[in-house]
A and B are shown apart, each in its own frame.
Chain A
């Protein structure tokens, strides 16, 4: 790829707002400006793709199941609270 005339200040501006770009929280004009820069700048592409993947990994991180012990404790607590009728006192 031939070196493009490169405006490092746009890299900096994009870097500051990359999450908003990923989350589609920018105005259409802002998005267009950054998307145009992204197409031309490999460094910013790497930045954007690694950040996007970071978000995906967070979103897809697995859930741990509630232990039987906790489920039973909660069930007993709910029963105790609602049997008392009113606001409980902490045990």
Chain B
């Protein structure tokens, strides 16, 4: 398991004590880690793979590998972020190749309006109204579909940053790319989703 960039010494890891106990012979407590993170990993899997069945396989594979490699965990990153990295590898392994993403690459220019005169002058209602009035189950489903249409390397950044709530530095660490790269991919992914949301709301009755 790659260790990636070292976290600053003194980074507090809420799981450190439990992991030390497990590695010191209290193996039965691994169950606690599973219970704590199963929900998180399952949703991460759903967002990355789209299919519940793939997400379930991914979660199982991820915990299996986490157990295998836990002894080698050196507290150089937060356990949660290490687990995301394990999950990401499991994701690539379990994902069935059935779904081809529509967009292969995203370029900034594609999203920049060439003719500013054609752009709306007013903020559309979906960006202006209170969030609760905009976020419906249908919009959530639509958004999930749009996320699945992102190229995989952009999707992973968006999911970690904007859905799982990792910082730019943490995302860079999990994906083993530079923070600058995280920012570039995140911005393009957001612009892609924004254009899809625009379509969604403009065609809504």
Binding site for B on A (CB under 8 A): 8, 11-12, 15-20, 23, 25, 42-43, 45-47, 49-67, 69-71, 73-75, 77-79, 81-82, 85, 87-88, 90
Contact = CB atoms under 8 A, between A and B. Distances in A.
A8 B39 contact: no
Nearest to B71: A87
22 contacts: A12-B112, A23-B168, A46-B127, A49-B128, A50-B124, A51-B191, A52-B127, A53-B127, A55-B190, A61-B140, A62-B140, A66-B38, A69-B56, A70-B42, A70-B59, A77-B60, A78-B30, A78-B31, A78-B34, A79-B31, A81-B64, A82-B67
A56 B128 CA distance: 12
Please classify the interface of chain B as helix (H, G, I), strand (E, B), loop, or mixed, using the class held by over half of its residues.
helix
Contacts of B28: 82
A80 B52 CA distance: 24
B121 A58 contact: no
Contacts of A70: 38, 42, 56, 59-60
A59 B163 contact: yes
A51 B67 contact: no
Contacts of B144: 61
B14 interface: no
Given A25-B183, A46-B120, A74-B59, 19 more contacts: A15-B108, A16-B187, A19-B183, A43-B119, A46-B121, A46-B127, A57-B134, A57-B143, A57-B197, A58-B190, A60-B131, A61-B135, A62-B140, A64-B46, A70-B56, A70-B59, A73-B56, A74-B38, A85-B27
Interface of B: 27-28, 30-31, 34, 38-39, 42-43, 46, 52, 56, 59-60, 63-64, 67-68, 108, 111-113, 116, 119-124, 126-128, 131, 134-135, 137, 139-140, 143-144, 147, 158, 162-163, 165, 168, 183, 186-187, 190-191, 193-194, 197-198
Given A49-B127, A66-B38, A43 B116 contact: yes
Contacts, number: 140
Contacts of A60: 131, 135
A79 B59 CA distance: 16
A71 B39 CA distance: 9
B134 to A, nearest CB: 7
Nearest to B46: A64
Contact of A46 (B63, B122, B139, B143): B122
Given A46-B120, A73-B60, A57 B139 contact: yes
A51 B189 CA distance: 11
Contacts of A11: 116
Nearest to B25: A85
